[in-house]
Structure 1
Amino acid sequence: MGYKKLDVVCPCCETKLTVDQKTGEVIWEAKKEKPAASLSDMMKSLDSQRKEQENIFKQRSASEKDRNRLLQDKFREAQKNVDKNSNLPLRDIDFD
């Protein structure tokens, strides 16, 4: 018996795989080369990424400022609602 192999092409990425029929293991993988993008396409992509990152930064900055304000409001409300009663709850150690 000889060495049996099976050549398969992935329908998604068009990678050529050489598979051992007996074990099912991939022996060799040859990825399809992607065509090189033009310089203008790369510049447009970088510009769009930069704008997206700036928008995300602005959104997170605004939400952080709003979060700080909300936490301050919650803290003030909690201070108002503190029980002003001087009777402290009894602890287990107080019973000894």
Structure 2
Amino acid sequence: MKIYGLKTCDTCRKVLKQLPDSTFSDIRGDGMPDGLLEAAYAAFGAKLVNTRSTTWRGLSEEERAGEPLDLLRAHPALMKRPLIERNGELFLGWDQNVRAALGAA
């Protein structure tokens, strides 16, 4: 299982504690594997962009109107976190549905 997020994100740290056998990739430093961002956007659409983040609030209206994938590439912190990949299946966030699906009640 691979977790994509930010090493400074409290939720990502919580996930790492609950899924200790997973590997973590900091999207700000390591980037995302080819095709993963596109696959995540295809699966989650606009939910992939965290419009409640400080980064989002700092963007101009013109920047916010840009293509979501371009925004996420330019500002990795805009991605809702964590993005979890398990055997080709993607999960977004850390709500009770995701925890249950991953066996981390």
TM range (shorter): under 0.3
Larger RCO, structure (CA 8 Å, separation 6 or more): 2
Normalising by structure 1, we get a TM-score of 0.13
- Tell me the TM-score normalised to structure 2 length: 0.13
The structure carrying a bigger helix percent of its residues is: 1
